[in-house]
Structures are given as C-alpha cells and as structure tokens.
Amino acid sequence: MHHLELADQTISYLDVPAAQPARAAAAPDPIVLLHGEAVDHRMWGPQLDSFPGRRILVPDARGHGESSDAEAPYRLADDVVALLDALRVPSAVLVGLSMGGGTAVDVALEHPERASALVVSGTGSSEPEFTDPWCLDVFRRWKEAETAGDLDVWISVFTEFTVGPSRTRADVDPGIIELVESMARDTVMHHLRVDDHGIPIPPIPCTPVIDTWKRLHRIDVPVLALCGALDGEDHRRMGRRLADSVGRGRYVEVPASAHYPNLEQPGVFDVEVARFLR
C-alpha cells in the first residue's frame, strides 16, 4: 500500500503498473477501482492482474481500510480527484461497486473531464432508491444491529447482500463470505471511535452529491452497468436506469452472482470489462 499524505486526509492505495508500459503519450488511461461500503481495496483482489495493459489504482475510501477518518465534511468524488491530482493522472476509467459505483458517477457529474469511462456495479448513482421489500428488510435489520451495538449481527445481516435474495449462505463460496465479513469487521474495529464512556461516536457523514438521477443525461462518456444477476431487484433496476439515462450506456448481468460479481464470477466480470475497454 502507498500512503498519500494530504492536508486533510491520508489516502491509502494500491498502484499496480501496466505489465508493458507504453510511451506516456500513447498510454491508455489508468483504471481506478472503487470499493463498496464497509469493505476496502481487498475486494478487488481478482482484478489486479486482469488488465495488464493498464495501470490500476485501488484506493481505500475515507473511513475504510488504511485511509484516514473524516475530520471535516468531504465528498468521496473529490477524494478520488485529489488522488488523481497528486499522481498527475488527467483522466481515468472509473470502476466502482455499490458505494464506489455511486462515487464513479459523482466524479463524472462533478468533474467530467476526469472520467473517460465508467463501469458501475450494484447501483446507478450515489442517491440509491430502495423499494424492494427484501432490501428494505435487510436495511432495517442492519440498522437495528447498529443501534444495538451488536457487531456480530451487524456483519451477519450485511452479508445477506453478498448472498442475495434467492440463495442461502451455503450457496456461496465460503471464502468470499469470509473475505467480505473480514473487511466489514476490520472497518468497524479500525474506524469506529468511542467516547470516554465507550459510546460510539458517529462518523462525519459524506456530503452527498445531489440531483444525480436528473443529471445522468449529461454524462457523455461510455458507461457499462455491470450487475450480478442474483443481486436485489433494486440494485439491478438502478443499473438499468443508469444505462438507459446516459448517451452511451449498456447494461449487462453477470450470472450466478449477487452484489459482488467481481468476486463470485471474476472471469465473466473481467471479460465484460475488457470488452468494454476495447
């Protein structure tokens, strides 16, 4: 991991060089892999050597992994641009899942010159809209576990997104479940602060980018919405909406996978991304 020390934060990130570096003028834009909520850069392990012709950057978002916690209001999209600025990267292909997908869309809306293409999985914007009873029930129980301070239940409920609404834990590779649960546990253990009485201190929330759905038509770079076929209906619906709302959008579902298609079916996921990049 590299650690970029800025005035207001520390951004930790992986920097994987292209296997065959091209001349600077001919080098394709790097790929930036943006992880989901409560996990970190480790969720992109299968993708690190999947695109040898491109440099790959994998940051930890604020409050996740090895990056610092927020001390003042911030926007995740601005953090991505801060990393690109520091590394002197004019533009990049942004690949994001869930929270990271919303961040990728926000960069394209707020800093359009910095995104040359988007791959978005498990969402459609940073303002998700949930109506599916399964998803609403999971979020309700997840919040209850958070309020009760029950970390084990909080992680168990969170894992239901990994499984999806139509399967059980037994249907999913236990290594994937273990990885997701380990990342979620580390996020809480390393970033949850408590006061002198042991009461959790709520983190400073990310400042939202607003009116994202209304502004999607302004995105003029190619967009691939790449969702797990077994993910919740809301997540897939938002992916389809994103693809339909931009000028050059395409929606694809990865079979036999839920919220983390890059982990469950990395071969299919990577082939679709590589085809999109070509």
Please give the full DSSP string across 168-221, using - where no structure is assigned: -GGGS-HHHHHHHHHHHHHHHHHH-EE-TTSPEEPPPPPPPP-SHHHHGGG--S
Q: Are residues 163 and 25 in the same domain?
A: no
Give the pair of three-digit tokens for residue 2: 């590299």
Last residue of a domain, one of 201, 234, 261: 201
pLDDT of residue 201: 79
Q: Are residues 116 and 186 in the same domain?
A: no
Q: Which of 105, 16, 12, 106 is nearest to 63 (CA)?
A: 12
Q: How many domains does the chain have?
A: 2
What domain range is 163 assigned to?
133-201
Q: Are residues 34 and 95 in the same domain?
A: yes
Q: Are residues 189 and 258 in the same domain?
A: no
How far apart, in whole angstroms, are the C-alpha atoms of residue 72 and residue 207?
10
pLDDT of residue 122: 98
Last residue of a domain, one of 177, 201, 225: 201
Q: Are residues 183 and 106 in the same domain?
A: no
Q: Are residues 118 and 156 in the same domain?
A: no
User: Is residue 43 within 8 Å of residue 95, measured between CB atoms?
Assistant: no
Q: Are residues 64 and 194 in the same domain?
A: no
How far apart, in whole angstroms, are the C-alpha atoms of residue 88 and residue 2?
15
pLDDT of residue 26: 77
What CATH number did the domain enclosing 273 receive? 3.40.50.1820
pLDDT of residue 24: 63
pTM over 0.85: yes
pLDDT of residue 91: 98
State the burial class of residue 207 (Cβ atoms within 10 Å of its Cβ: 0-12, 13-18, 19+): middle
How far apart, in whole angstroms, are the C-alpha atoms of residue 243 and residue 222?
9
Q: Per-block average pLDDT, block size 10, for the chain (278 residues)? A: 97 95 78 98 98 97 97 97 98 98 98 98 98 98 92 96 98 98 96 75 91 98 98 98 98 98 98 97
Q: Are residues 42 and 161 in the same domain?
A: no
pLDDT of residue 149: 86
| Residue 111 one-letter amino acid | H
Q: Are residues 62 and 101 in the same domain?
A: yes
How far apart, in whole angstroms, are the C-alpha atoms of residue 40 and residue 66?
9
- Please spell the DSSP secondary structure of the chain, one letter per residue: -EEEE-SS-EEEEEEE--SSPPPTTTPPPPEEEE--TT--GGGGGGGTTS-TTS-EEEEPPTTSTTSPPPSS---HHHHHHHHHHHTT---EEEEEETHHHHHHHHHHHHSGGGEEEEEEES-SSSS-----HHHHHHHHHHHHHHHHT-HHHHHHHHHHHHH-TT--GGGS-HHHHHHHHHHHHHHHHHH-EE-TTSPEEPPPPPPPP-SHHHHGGG--S-EEEEEETTS-HHHHHHHHHHHHHSTTEEEEEETT-SS-HHHHSHHHHHHHHHHHH-
Last residue of a domain, one of 176, 201, 226: 201
Q: Are residues 120 and 137 in the same domain?
A: no
Give the pair of three-digit tokens for residue 146: 């958070």
Measure Cα distances from 141 to 108, 132, 152, 275 in Å. 33, 15, 12, 39
Q: Are residues 107 and 212 in the same domain?
A: yes
Give the pair of three-digit tokens for residue 213: 């759905």
Q: Are residues 175 and 273 in the same domain?
A: no
